[in-house]
Amino acid sequence: DYTPSTCFFKTCDREDSEKLLRESYSSNKQKNGIYMLRQSTRDENKFILSLIKDGQCYHYRAHHAGNGTFLDEKTDSVFYSLDGLLEYYQTDGVRHLRCPLTIPLRGHSLPAFAQRRGVTTALHQAASEGQKDVVSQILNDHDCPDIHCKNEEGNTPLHEACFFGRDDVVKELLKAGASWKFVNKLGWTSLHQAALGNCPTVVDILVNRAQADVDARNPFNLYAPIHCAAACNNVETIA
């Protein structure tokens, strides 16, 4: 079985995408709305929703800002995962398409960083437990998962380390390129997580080493990190 979230094609250009769509269109008795989600061959931060209607292919672009957010060029809307973008175009956003989405092409799973949620990896586990040496070993391994991969809660390994106050692991992940800006399924950044976990030293690390924005807002409830600390009565973090 496969779902719309497995309709992803990495570095697939326009010509190849249209060939695949037309082949599927023909084999599915000219069914409109067959679609795929692909990554641009020219710009790795460009993602394109491609569909076919009446034999004609149409392409809708979204730009990855590098922090887990995607700006849809058709509607100027911001999405926090590619599956969120797909869900939008299957519901309220269908009016912006040439036709409703029907059959997803069989491709691959969405990139780990672009999913709303995923599975807990060894990197998540080691980060949450503060196992710095294990984290370092995983990061240097050829089969290391994406540093921004998400678990069932939408947390990246950095989210986990920040919530549990694992200072050394936070530093290690930042050194390896982890971004504090990615949000989990509730809209919290890693800085919010540190505030929720009452971890003032982690807050200092994020602000001073990663230039984390203390006024960063949860996109769903507009909470800043200080609101999280106050709601949990985390006096040390507020101070």
DSSP 72: E
What pLDDT, in 10s, does the model give residues 179-197?
999 999 999 999 999 999 9
Mean pLDDT of 115-135: 96
In 3D, which of 60, 64, 57, 126 has the Cα closest to residue 88?
60
What pLDDT, in 10s, does the model give residues 92-106?
999 999 999 999 999
Mean pLDDT of 120-130: 98
pLDDT of residue 30: 93
Is it the case that residue 57 has pLDDT exceeding 70? yes
- φ and ψ of 64, to 5 deg: -85, 125
* Residue 126 or 3, more confident: 126
pLDDT of residue 2: 38
Using pLDDT thresholds of 50, 70 and 90, give the confidence band for residue 3.
low
Domain ranges in the chain with CATH number 3.30.505.10: 4-110
What pLDDT, in 10s, does the model give residues 61-104?
999 998 889 999 999 999 999 999 999 999 999 999 999 999 99
Is it the case that residue 1 has pLDDT exceeding 50? no
Is the domain spanning 4-110 CATH 3.40.630.10? The answer is no
* Own/partner long-range contacts of 90-98 (Cβ < 8 Å, ≥24 apart): 90/4, 96/60, 97/51, 97/58, 97/60, 98/51, 98/53, 98/56, 98/58
Domain ranges in the chain with CATH number 1.25.40.20: 122-238
For CA atoms 107, 113, 116, 118, give the dihedral sign: positive
For residue 8, give both structure tokens: 């992803």
CB 104 within 8 A of CB 2: yes
122-238 CATH, one of 2.120.10.90, 1.25.40.20, 3.40.50.20, 3.40.50.620: 1.25.40.20
The per-residue pLDDT of the chain, averaged, comes to: 95
pLDDT of residue 220: 93
